[in-house]
Structure 1
Amino acid sequence: MSRLPSLFISHGAPTVLIDGSPAPAAWRRWADAHDRPRAIVSLSAHRPARQPGAGSAAHWRTVHDFGGFPEQLYRLQYPAQGERALADDIDRRLAAAGFAVQPDERPGLDHGAWVPLLAMYPDADIPVVTLPVLPAADAATHYRLGQALAGLGEEGVLLVGSGSLTHNLYEVAWNAGPEAWALEFQSWMLERLAEGDVDAVLDWERQAPQARRNHPTAEHLLPLFFALGAGGTPRSVLHSGMEHGSIAMDALAFGENLSH
């Protein structure tokens, strides 16, 4: 097996699985075109914690951590298993990189984890280990988290950061056209990533246009820096788009073998 890249997936609203969004099909095409991972590590914007630490469960519970959506979404399940040995290995790698580790005992997969995985690997037969987002930490910290685990790609483990390239729920406009302020931020971030300008990307709060309008809080962008740290450059695009006015749906692979 060749080294697996890391992924950043803008997971969108849970309705992406049923509303005709092109994003899930793009995620699935990428999965079908690449080696099947032996395990998946998911760092989701919807799993916050104060300290990093891997989570595993004998049988993951599917958490429907949202409200007011169509009933069929609440019937979806992703009954994956965890892998305790991988979770312990991750905690050792994080500790060796200087992180204070707090193992994560939460038994459920939030929708930031299971929505993309259900589209990509619908049989739920690949072990899944979780990592939390650290809302009190910065981009550089999440980049270092990714770097600490980069070697797992050589071992057939797929590292996935699940969040959103833009995320301001106060200004979502269902079924509206793209907002200029969201497009400006999206373009800036994608251009800097294409250039491999890691320093600028990590300094997004000062350098990116409309930074705080697109991310009043940063938890949905922080998984991007984890994926970037884990995979490095180059980056390739699985999917790009804007939904509901200001929700950028970009999905990126880092360290991609461009022969695919």
Structure 2
Amino acid sequence: MSLQILPGLFISHGSPMLALQPGQVGAAFERISHNLPKPRAIVVMSAHWEDIVLEVSTATRPKTWHDFRGFPEALYKLQYPAPGEPELAEKIIQRLQDSGFEAHANAMRPRDHGVWMPLLHMYPEADIPVIQISLPKFYTARQIYQLAESLAYLRQQQVLLIGSGSITHNLAELRWQEQSDVPVWASEFRNKVASLLQNSDYEAVLNWKNLPYIQKNHPSLEHLSPLFFAMGTGKRMSVVHSSFSMGTLGMDLYRFD
């Protein structure tokens, strides 16, 4: 059986409550997984594994980490027991090293919710091996992009590459009334980024400091950085889903081919 080329994805993973209350975003996750060939493995860079170094999970059975507090008890009972794939993880490390990146193995890291929560809706059987890559704190947007470029060949081996973060992410500005209007600073930022990517102006997004309302939407950059990773996986972007949760939390899902 020939392997099929998969896209790269950028996923806005939202609040942990998405696991229990998927709504239209969960439906979008399910839809894209149904529209893709089943991956033989999944590689994810999540906003929630920031590290001072670049690491790749080599665990055989990573634990499900409930890396949040103050949510309903049912959320902490959820598990996502997908296996790891140490052999592929080691090949990724070697590829990164050959590409000039100092990459290390980490066999102890559990899976954070930026990984398992969207996959719970996309591949609920948890039967596809999942490998997580850390987000190096001191990497520039271009370095993260180039890191992904070095791994883009995996798409031809039926490996799904995912950057899991959020198109907007300012928790201090969340509006808990779900019907709240989206403020201009959030909608204009999201619209500008999507427009630039759809017009293949990746350079403008990599020069993120010039994006409108950047500090308002991303007081810190860790939830935008997985977008740079997803951008490195493909040259053509399309919007799979776009919405806002809690007024200001962008829930966009982008595909890169």
Per the normalisation by structure 1, the TM-score is 0.95
Once superposed, which parts of structure 1, at least 4 consecutive aligned residues long, lie more than 3 Å away? none
Whether the aligned pair in 2 keeps the contact of 1:41 and 1:128 (CA below 8 Å) is yes
Determine which of 199, 204, 221 is the counterpart of 2:208. 204
Residues paired across the two proteins, number: 253
Determine which of 193, 198, 205 is the counterpart of 1:194. 198
Q: Which runs of 5+ in 2 are unaligned?
A: none
Q: Any idea what SS the aligned residue of 2:239 has? A: strand
Whether the aligned pair in 2 keeps the contact of 1:178 and 1:245 (CA below 8 Å) is yes
Deviates more, 1:137-146 or 1:110-119: 137-146
Find the counterpart in structure 2 of residue 98 from structure 1: 100
Whether the aligned pair in 2 keeps the contact of 1:90 and 1:149 (CA below 8 Å) is yes
Find the counterpart in structure 1 of residue 49 from structure 2: 47
Find the counterpart in structure 2 of residue 180 from structure 1: 184
Matching of residue 28 in structure 1 with residue 30 in structure 2: yes
Question: 1:190-212: per-residue Cα shift (whole Å, max 9, x none)?
Answer: 0000100011010011x210011
Q: Any idea what SS the aligned residue of 1:62 has? A: coil
Q: Between the two proteins, what is the percent identity of the paired residues?
A: 44
Determine which of 103, 116, 122 is the counterpart of 2:118. 116
Find the counterpart in structure 2 of residue 258 from structure 1: none
Find the counterpart in structure 1 of residue 172 from structure 2: 170
Whether the aligned pair in 1 keeps the contact of 2:59 and 2:106 (CA below 8 Å) is no
Q: Which runs of 5+ in 1 are unaligned?
A: 256-260
The alignment's C-alpha RMSD in Å is 1.1
CA distance in 1, matches of 2:129, 2:192: 35
CA distance in 1, matches of 2:59, 2:83: 6
Q: How does 1:19-168 map to 2 (within 5 A)?
A: 19-168=21-170
Q: CA deviation at 1:50?
A: 1.5
Question: 1:146-201: per-residue Cα shift (whole Å, max 9, x none)?
Answer: 10100000001100110000111111111232111111110110000010001101
CA distance in 2, matches of 1:191, 1:114: 29
CA distance in 2, matches of 1:60, 1:105: 8
Change (3 A) 1:102 1:20: closer
